[in-house]
């Protein structure tokens, strides 16, 4: 366990966190231009994102399929080299509305890591789907053992474009 009491035990942990923040700042600088003029002309639930790891994955939002489950603001599909891997409607929880994709929470961020307003129609610059990397790993071992594409890993998704 790490303590924040200034003891020697806390220093390595603090160095890792500060190092991570510096790397995160560099990534944010790189992502800064990702959601430019194109984002303002696009609805957040119709946008296309790419993985910041640059491994060839894309996350596409599209209209929800009304025949699948309860009402949803959108559907999402993850592609690898134009081949769909995972797809389904987003689900919304009751109360403090959290969006879910494949039962994994979806978080939207502006490129400066602030929370976008719900009334803002343009797509946020960054998306994170918590647990997607481990979900992909175990699902592929169990359901898709012959899949040849690389693992998704825990990745951020950056806004790339709007569909034509």
pLDDT band at 41 (very low <50, low <70, confident <90, very high): low
Do 154 and 87 share a domain, yes or no? Answer: yes
Q: Which residues contact 100 (CB under 8 A, 6 or more apart)?
A: 90, 91, 92, 93, 106
Do 7 and 46 share a domain, yes or no? Answer: no
Do 21 and 43 share a domain, yes or no? Answer: no
Do 132 and 74 share a domain, yes or no? Answer: yes
Residue 102 has pLDDT above 90, yes or no: yes
Name which residue leads in pLDDT, 26 or 52: 52
Do 50 and 64 share a domain, yes or no? Answer: yes
User: Global pTM?
Assistant: 0.73
Long-range contacts from 65-74, C-beta under 8 angstroms, 24+ separation: 65/89, 73/45, 73/99, 74/45, 74/46
Residue 23 has pLDDT above 70, yes or no: no
pLDDT for position 25: 36
pLDDT band at 6 (very low <50, low <70, confident <90, very high): very low
Report pLDDT digits (tens) over 62-86.
999 888 777 888 999 999 999 999 9
Do 61 and 135 share a domain, yes or no? Answer: yes
The pLDDT of 106-132, averaged and rounded, is: 90
Domain total for the chain? 2
pLDDT for position 124: 92
Residue 34 has pLDDT above 50, yes or no: no
Please give the residue range of the domain that contains residue 21: 1-31
Residue 146 has pLDDT above 60, yes or no: yes
pLDDT for position 38: 52
Helix, strand, coil percentages in the chain from 3-state DSSP, rounded to 5: 25, 25, 50
SS3 13: helix
Do 6 and 66 share a domain, yes or no? Answer: no
Do 52 and 123 share a domain, yes or no? Answer: yes
């Amino acid at each position: 366990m790490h303590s924040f009491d200034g003891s020697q035990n806390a220093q390595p942990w603090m160095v890792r966190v500060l190092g991570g923040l510096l790397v995160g700042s560099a990534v944010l600088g790189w992502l800064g231009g990702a959601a430019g003029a194109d984002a303002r002309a696009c609805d957040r639930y119709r946008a296309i994102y790419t993985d910041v790891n640059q491994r060839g994955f894309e996350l596409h939002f599209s209209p929800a399929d009304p025949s699948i489950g309860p009402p949803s603001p959108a559907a999402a599909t993850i592609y690898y080299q134009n081949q769909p891997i995972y797809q389904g409607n987003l689900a919304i929880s009751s109360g403090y509305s959290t969006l879910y994709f494949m039962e994994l929470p979806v978080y939207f961020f502006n490129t400066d890591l602030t929370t976008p307003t719900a009334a803002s129609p343009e797509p946020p610059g960054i998306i994170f789907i918590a647990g997607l990397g481990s979900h992909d790993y175990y699902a592929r071992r169990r359901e898709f053992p012959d899949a040849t594409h690389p693992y998704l890993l825990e990745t951020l998704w950056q806004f790339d474009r709007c569909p034509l």
